[in-house]
Amino acid sequence: MTEETLTIRNNSTGKEADFSLLKGTIGTPVIDVSSLNKKMGLFTYDPGFMSTSSCKSAITYIDGEKGVLLYRGYPIDQLAEKCSFLEVAHLLMNGELASDSKQAEFEHEVGQHAMLHEAMRSFIDGFHYDAHPMAMMVGIVGSLSAFYHSELDMNDPEHRRISAMRMLAKMPVIAAACYRHSIGFPFVYPRSDLSYCENFLNMMFSLPSQKYIDKDNYIDPVAVKALNLLFILHADHEQNASTSTVRLASSTGANPYACIAAGIGALWGPAHGGANEAVLSMLEEIGTVDRIPMFIEKAKDKNDPFRLMGFGHRVYKNFDPRATIIRKACYEVLEGLAGSEKDPLFELALELEKYALNDEYFIEKKLYPNVDFYSGIIYKALNIPVDMFTVMFTIARTAGWVSHWLEMMAEPGQRIGRPRQIYTGHDIRNI
Ligand code: SDX
């Protein structure tokens, strides 16, 4: 961390002071303003944190101008091409890709933690059948701390590691349980002979009435490959809203399950992870190519709250590298999965992208398809229901959330996050 200084002068008072200019390995330098109030009696103001770094992190790097996304230094397209989701999870959580033996140990431990406490099933059954699965996820994950009292000494690195592994392992089991509950089908237990993504598909779609045949006969490898890819692409993304929520909650020393549940709540918003579900609803509302111009005009109309879901990004101002990879995968998955060769919504999405990218408004505001624009096309081809799309994002992002949680909890001198404000209310007054 190299340091230069920057002098800030308050012209109205003449006060000035030097502040450190910090530079990371790569990326935009930052001014350390932590002593600004002490030195100059000032706060900074940055709603939405457009220009604010909240922490130091070695996990993920994004260059919004160049469309670069690195997990622990590895470019996302290489990881998407060469790794499985659990290999990437190990990389994010531990800093390095594991050797074959270490990866086998890691995956064995994930399998050991996959089972849910049997009492959780009555908790899940307590939800109304039509509860939104994201509402169930927030509740069930938050309740994990009620089921797992042991290993909750947050000062113990081993307790932290076990908690992180538990969440990585249990998230797909809880997700599939929510889906099975919503359709009134029996809960399916995870199996030790299946990989992480094979297990998820089995827990989602296998039927007790189905004659047992081996996995090669009923879990489509095209679907497994597509899931690994989507989970890798959604695994982490620097200090996005849900990850920042996990970090802020964790700064109070709250238990990790409650902190991850807070992240799930933040991810659910349509401006964030909820966008993938909103994209499918938007494409279904647009319906046909001839209706695209009308919706593009709606998206541009300041008086219309409608936004083109799956477009735009706080950081990426040229293209989201994940959207590029997913668009290409859509062709392969739709070709490869029997019965989904042609999806009119995919054709519509391609036309909508073409139209938007040639529209002055979208060009001027640098609005491009983001990770959520095409992911739903693949989830739909995998028969994942639309209201489960953000749950899929939750499964993947758990790897990122627990990695950031582990990173910040291991950092010495952690302090509670507590931003200030500009007060615009009444001055002191008497009743
Ligand atoms: C994710 O942060 C992350 O890394 C998130 C994420 C991750 O992996 O964690 O990448 C995942 O959340 C992706 C984003 C998914 N959300 C959507 O697709 C919802 C639609 N997009 C927008 O709501 C918006 O683009 C955001 C929320 C993504 C970004 O919001 P910003 O950076 O605050 O941008 P903004 O709202 O200030 O918009 C800038 C301008 C505005 O116009 P002006 O006020 O300048 O005239 O662009 C316009 C906006 O009105 N605009 C859009 C638009 N997005 C921005 N206009 C129409 N349609 C859109 N989608």
**How far, in Å, is the centroid of ligand 1 from the Cα of 66?**
18
- pLDDT at position 152, please? 84
Other beta carbons within 10 Å of 146: 13
Rounded to an integer, what distance in angstroms lies between the CA atom of residue 210 and that of residue 213?
8
Alpha helices, DSSP H only, in 183-306? 196-205, 215-218, 221-233, 241-250, 256-267, 275-286, 292-300
Query: Which numbered atom of ligand 1 lies nearest the CA of 311?
Result: 60
Of 115, 106, 68, nearest to 85 (Cα)? 106
* 272 CA: nearest ligand 1 atom: 12
258-293: b (≥16 Cβ within 10 Å) or e: bbbbbbbbbbbebebbbbbbbbbebbeebeeeeebe
- For ligand 1, atom 30: residue with the closest CA: 314
Q: Whose CA is nearest to atom 16 of ligand 1?
A: 271
- Helix (H/G/I), strand (E/B), else coil: 46: coil
HSE at residue 164, side-chain half, CA atoms within 13 A, is 28
SS3 content of the chain, % helix, strand, coil (to 5): 55, 5, 40
Instruction: Give backbone dihedrals phi and psi of 318, rounded to 5 degrees, phi first.
Output: -130, -55
Half-sphere exposure at residue 398, Cβ-oriented, CA atoms within 13 angstroms: 28
Residues of the chain with pLDDT under 50: none
Instruction: Tell me the C-alpha distance between 112 and 275, whole Å.
Output: 33
The predicted pLDDT at position 392 comes to 98
Task: State pLDDT tens for residues 204-219.
Answer: 999 988 876 676 667 8
- What would the pLDDT profile of 137-167 be if each residue is shown by its tens digit? 999 999 998 888 777 888 999 999 999 999 9
Distance of CA 394 to the CA centre of its chain: 6
Query: What is the structure's pLDDT at 371?
Result: 92
For residue 153, count CB atoms less than 10 angstroms from its CB and return exposed for 0-12, middle for 13-18, buried for 19 or more. exposed
Q: Is 371:238 a contact under the CB 8 Å cutoff? A: no
Give ligand 1 pocket residues (Cβ under 6 A). 48, 237, 240, 271-273, 275, 299, 307-315, 365, 367, 370-372
From the alpha carbon of 273, which atom of ligand 1 is closest? 12
Q: Which residue's alpha carbon is nearest to atom 8 within ligand 1?
A: 237
Taking only the tens place, the pLDDT of each residue in 267-306 is 999 999 999 999 999 999 999 999 999 999 999 999 999 9
Structural contact between residues 396 and 231, judged by C-beta atoms closer than 8 angstroms: yes
